[in-house]
Amino acid sequence: MGKDAKKVVELLNAARAGELTAILQYMAQHYELENQDYGKLAKFLKKTAITEMKHAELLADRILFLGGVPTSKPDAEAKKGQSITDMLATDIALEADAIGKYNASAKACAEALDHVSKDIFEKLLGDENGHLDEFQNLKEHADQLGAAWLAQQTGAGE
């Protein structure tokens, strides 16, 4: 594996570690919220975690193609026992961090002339920007509407 390919694999594995953290975080939140009867919000987090699982798989496939070994270790521990507004702040931070890293990684991949990996990072950027927007909207609702909004999140979800 050449120097450029090795660097790209490192970037892909760093992204995969972040995706694994997001999966664990969103699933932990899903379980906590489901247990507290916030089914609608729990369902949204589960759906988001599944999207992150697909990202982790896409990254693993590319790492394997380049001759690397996909990491199976998240880059952080999932936070548990947070209030809903703190959960959403955690999620916003995860998504914002991923966006920053993926922008830099896409640029580095282009410089390494690996446009396939660059395209993967750009695809992930689109999804992560969508997640960031959704989490920011949810946090704004929670902050502005408080208990009334939280009451709407109860039940089985749609």
With bands split at pLDDT 50, 70 and 90, how would you rate the model's confidence at 94?
Answer: very high
Statement: the pTM of the whole predicted model exceeds 0.75:
yes
- At residue 1, the pLDDT reads 65
Domains of the chain and any CATH numbers: 3-74+82-152 (1.20.1260.10)
**How sure is the predictor about 158, in pLDDT bands with cuts at 50, 70 and 90?**
low
pLDDT at 156: 75
Q: Is the pLDDT of residue 28 over 90?
A: yes
Average pLDDT over residues 39-57: 97
What value does the mean pLDDT take over residues 2-29? 96
CA atoms within 13 A on the CB side of 54: 11
Burial 109-127 (b: 16+ CB within 10 A, else e): beebebeebbebbbebbeb
**How is residue 76 written in tokens?**
């952080």
